[in-house]
Amino acid sequence: MTVKNEVRVLKNFINGEWVETSGTDMLEIRNPANKDEVVVNVRQSNEKDAQAAIEAAAAAFPAWSKTPSPARGEYLFKIAAIMEAEAEEIARIIVQEEGKTYADAFKEVNYAAGIVKFYAGEGRRMTGRIIESDMAGVQIELHKEALGVVLVVTPWNFPLSIPAWKIAPAILSGNTVVLKASSETPLTAQKFMEIVERAGVPSGVVNQLVGPGRLVTEMINHPAVKAITFTGSNRVGNLIYAEAAKEMKRVLLEMGGKNPLIVMEDADVDAAVALAVAGGYGQTGQACTATSRVVIHKDIRQEFTDKLVAKSKEIKIGNGMDEGVTMGPQVSEGERQSTLDLIQKAIDEGGEVLTGGGIPEFAGSDKGFFVEPTVIGSVKSAMTIAQEEVFGPVISIIEIDSIDEAIEVANDVAFGLSAAICTKNLTYMNRALSEIQAGIVKVNMTTTGTFFQAPFGGYKQSSTGTYKELGSEAVEFYCQNKTRYINSN
């Protein structure tokens, strides 16, 4: 029986106005913790809508790019203030359509607000450079200029913070934006646009489209689009990269991870278990930086595994709005089935499910896309479960007997996003920091989480690698550098 509540039909945000979509296909977004509850209806956009959004951004670009960057930053300060004031409401929306716990959602909102404030402050730090000339009376200036229209394509797992960490530096740098957010979480994207509107951002600077992924190809090829930034799967990222390459357009991709937590023989076992639980089950494992592999020294493997299994059994699964729940559902039936299929593949290849591995049973569990927190032992590095991103609450245990083997296993994947090591040994720390092939390497911390003032991005198949997100470095993707010669003679 479907829950009867007032269900809205979403609109596009184009040129500062809320516009009815032109498509005919309807999409129902249901609460992943209770699939009987319809959260919102989405009438999908079509090519006409995509064209209108890009044209609005292109028309707004000349005036916006000439606006001083401190003034652009002031709009971001207003956006951040509204986010913070309405954090509870936004968090409830995220829980309702994405499924994460309220605590995780609330943390995301405040993290997103922090990102926006950081880039607001960057408005007064946008600097060029003077270079000494070979000739008297000639001055050489390096000057940053905006690119134009930036296409922002974002996923469902962090439906507020990822759009924020792309849009904020983009518009701070003088670009205008079209956001094509995930179809799984359109209500959060709309709430973000409502905040942008209330902050007084000029019409056309930020536009948002609710629509299917198939529109992205045509949008990439629009002559006004100068850059594309995407976070999501490797399959889609590779398609975007290939399409953009046809016109040599600038692309920033952040994609998958297969992140190891190395636990050496001298580690604090209880602390390491806590890090594995937080990294593996936080966000229901639906994070590109999630702890997917625990690479454990043989001397403490049994103790660590026993304690990890015990802690996994303590996880309370349920609706993220319910008190005491520490892990919500996966976002959709498709995502859950993908996780279950990979667990079965691990079993078929010789892995041993030590806890979890299936669909939990509790009152109402049949209404949501729940998966048990799962620990798989007897995993070898060549197995599918050790190579492919799971994107669910699954931790694989891989035994090693030395720091050499630990680093070898950590690097023995196509990805290189995040990694961590638990140890008190300075040699182990330094070797991990230097030799692990990942964009982020941590010591005695979770593989998940990043500070927004520090750059974020991966190696190998996790990222295009040319540019970084977050930190002051993120601005580089959204700017082009002009060398200006001035002869005053």
Q: Would you please indicate which residues are annotated as catalytic (active-site) residues?
A: 254
- What is the DSSP secondary-structure string of 359-389? ---STTGGGS-----EEEES--TTSHHHHS-
Question: How many whole angstroms separate alpha carbon 470 and alpha carbon 115?
Answer: 8
Across the strands, what pairs with 22? none
The DSSP 8-state label assigned to residue 21 in this structure reads: -
Give every CB contact of residue 362 below 8 A, 6+ residues apart in sequence: 317, 318
Coil vs helix vs strand at 221: helix
CB contact burial 361-377 (16+ within 10 A = b; e otherwise)? eeeeeebbbbbbbbbbb
Residue 402 · residue 435 · CB < 8 Å: no
Residue whose C-alpha is closest to residue 392's, from 463, 446, 328? 328
Residue 152 · residue 220 · CB < 8 Å: no
Give the CB-side neighbour count of residue 89, counting CA atoms within 13 A.
10
459-460/352-355 β-pairing: unpaired
Give the CB-side neighbour count of residue 478, counting CA atoms within 13 A.
28
The DSSP 8-state label assigned to residue 317 in this structure reads: B
Residue 109 · residue 90 · CB < 8 Å: yes
Across the strands, what pairs with 266? none
138-146/129-131 β-pairing: antiparallel
Question: How many whole angstroms separate alpha carbon 422 and alpha carbon 160?
Answer: 31
- What is the DSSP secondary-structure string of 165-186? HHHHHHHHTT-EEEEE--TT-H
Coil vs helix vs strand at 463: strand
